[in-house]
Amino acid sequence: MICIPIVAPTTEAAVAQMERGLPLADVVELRIDQIEDCDLKQLLAIQRKGKPIIVTNRRADERGAFPGTERERVELLKEAVALGADYVDIEVRTEKLLLKELVAQIEKYNGRTKRIVSYHDFSATPSEEALRKRFEECVTTKADIVKICTYAHTVEDNLRVLGIIPYARNKGQTIIAFAMGEQGRISRVMAPLVGAAWGYASAEKGAESAPGQLTIEEMRLVSQILENAGPG
């Protein structure tokens, strides 16, 4: 499965991107921290064609662009829950009280929205032990999906971050994991093949939401080559 992030400056532009991206993607991520006049009601009312929508509102120190307070940021995620978003993505480093409030909002609406709890390291890929520690930290929040993203400086970094996927699956935890950066591109392709819930790819060149992100066309092409490659 492939998720297309929607990164746009206005609601109007985001709607246009969603209409182009929905037929291509399996999942769509709305990066509402990038949208200056964010109208969640309008964005979530779009005909989805059966495609789930993730609402993400990244704070500045997580390479996001949300200009308000932490409470204001989480209130928008709570609004997304009330409007029926399929998923909300929140950082594990969010204040515990605000995390609890988001969980309570999800429970209020009978758990129809699932929670992605994410950890990002934008400078490196930690050791296997450190990655497992971050994973367990996300699990303690009762995440529906754990998301771990690191930055790759070497090819070996890809192997380390991909290794957390079978570790999580053996524990019965749904996970997304890959490495960012040019050296991390192969992990983006391999992650869904080794059991990640989905990978991320832009709808087109220039619409990337993170360094090293492939286009959906590139992602599918390389995935098909790997899947069709025979032994030997």
Catalytic residues: 120, 147
Distance CA 101, CA 135 (A): 22
123, two tokens: 């400078």
| Cβ atoms of residues 77 and 136 within 8 Å | no
Cβ 109 vs Cβ 83: under 8 Å: no
Query: Which residues are within 8 A (CB) of 77 and not within 5 positions of it... i.e. 6 or more apart?
Result: 55, 57, 88, 90, 102
Beta strands in 84-144 (DSSP E): 87-91, 114-120
Q: Which two three-digit tokens encode residue 117? A: 């709890």
Residue 78 Cα distances to 57, 81, 85, 174, 232, angstroms: 11, 5, 10, 22, 51
Count the alpha carbons within 13 Å of 135 in the hemisphere toward its beta carbon.
25
Is 2 in contact with 26 (CB distance < 8 Å)?
A: yes
Give the Cα separation of 173 and 143 in Å (integer).
Answer: 9
